[in-house]
Amino acid sequence: MPGNANLLERRRDIVLKLEGTLDHAQESVVTGEQLDVAMIEARRIATGSKSNGEARDRYNTMKESMRKQISAQYGIDESALPEVGQGFGIIRGGQGGRDGMGHFAPVLAVSGQDRVTLENDVGQTEGREKQAVGEINPNWYFRMFGPVKKHWYGNEDQTFWGEAKKHEKADYGDKPLVATLGSRPREG
């Protein structure tokens, strides 16, 4: 980028946009912003890409060791650890999944690296009546997530990201993007 004023200007614009969306001290996305836009912009910065398509391609082909390093640096994917009052946010990433898929899971309780969420989804399973737009789905549920646990027979990924990769690939793809979502304290 040195010497290329257009690329430097574009990077500055993205960083300024993210400054209003990301709380770097808390490693969280500020609510009120569009989750997918903020996370896509973060992916572009993390991969050093100029376009959404290029960032997606770089992320999808990134070596696992590099992806884990970026995840730890930005507090995303398996490194997302929201506190009580914050939550997990997820959008589709990688191969597969369905366009427009996104979900927010608020954290109600924390113990060490374990997180308990209260969730609801619009997905319908066979035998359940599909909700009309604007109706409330009464099917709330609690879920608990933990860290990656190392066993003598291998690793068991109990993170929000790991569980989505195992059980929700049809919705979020094989490399979903997960971030900690939070909000700034009210002023005044």
Q: Helix or strand or coil: residue 7?
A: helix
Q: Let me know if residue 188 belongs to a domain.
A: no
Angle between helices 35-47 and 5-19 (to 10 degrees): 140
Q: Let me know if residue 60 belongs to a domain.
A: yes
- Say how many domains are in the chain: 1
Q: Let me know if residue 121 belongs to a domain.
A: yes
Q: Let me know if residue 187 belongs to a domain.
A: no
Residues in CB range of 42: below 8 A, 6 or more apart: 18, 22, 29, 74, 76, 179
Own/partner long-range contacts of 135-142 (Cβ < 8 Å, ≥24 apart): 142/108, 142/116, 142/117, 142/118
Contact 115, 145 (CB under 8 A): yes
Per-residue confidence of the chain (188 residues) as pLDDT tens digits?
455 666 666 555 555 554 455 555 655 555 455 656 666 766 776 677 777 778 778 877 888 888 888 788 777 888 888 889 888 888 888 888 887 777 889 999 999 999 999 988 765 555 555 556 556 667 788 999 998 888 778 778 899 999 999 988 888 888 888 888 776 555 55
Q: Let me know if residue 175 belongs to a domain.
A: yes
What's the predicted TM-score (pTM) here? 0.69
**Which residue segment(s) compose the domain that 163 sits in?**
5-182
Q: Let me know if residue 28 belongs to a domain.
A: yes
Q: Let me know if residue 160 belongs to a domain.
A: yes
Query: Nearest to residue 73, comparing CAs of 123, 118, 130, 24?
Result: 24
What is the spatial distance between Cα 144 and Cα 141, in angstroms, rounded to a whole number?
10
